[in-house]
Amino acid sequence: LAEKFRLTEFQLQTSAVMKGLASIIPIDILCLFSWQQLELKVCGRPNVDIELLKRHTNYNGCNPNEPVFEMFWRILSNLQSQYQSLFIRFVWGRHKLPSAKDFNVQFQLQLLPLEIIDHDKRLPKAQTCAFCLILPRYSNELILQKRLVYAITTCREIDSDFIENEINSNLNTNYLQSLNDQL
């Protein structure tokens, strides 16, 4: 009796999931995919393809060879995958990029205007609806890395700056402390 209960206790929930899946894809063909293939189709690739992002980048009125952009791409390429995911979340509100064939929007990179002072003290700014990052003209790579990591780990909510996620606070604190030690 207990075994039968345990085997059927989530019947209502699993039926709802199956009904939802059936509205998108014929249930008969689900058996053609492994769970890993289905996860990839539904969720996308687990790692952020930085080269794919570069190919889909528009430099709004800026020279792509600006030193700050070169530093930015080096830093982003060298970040651990969890930070790369946080970056995509920061600039687009998603954790992953679409596949190359489904990538139908351009990532926008802009520079903060020269008239604004104290670029090294400013954080990068994201506009998630436009898939856009506005970078201050940082004087060196370490400052850019520190500001970028701070922004992507503390500005966690779309359009709500400086909301720290407790789960990531230790990760953020340790990483930022290592960057501070280098300054």
Q: Which residues participate in catalysis according to the annotation? A: 129
Asked if 108 and 132 count as a contact pair (C-beta separation under 8 A), the reply is yes
Instruction: Give the Cα separation of 15 and 84 in Å (integer).
Output: 36
CA angle 168, 54, 167 (to 5 degrees): 5
Identify the DSSP state of 14: H
DSSP letter assigned to residue 38:
H
121 C-beta neighbours (distance < 10 Å), count: 10
User: Which residue is it, tokens 């920061």?
Assistant: 90
The strand ranges marked E within the chain are 57-59, 107-111, 125-127, 132-135
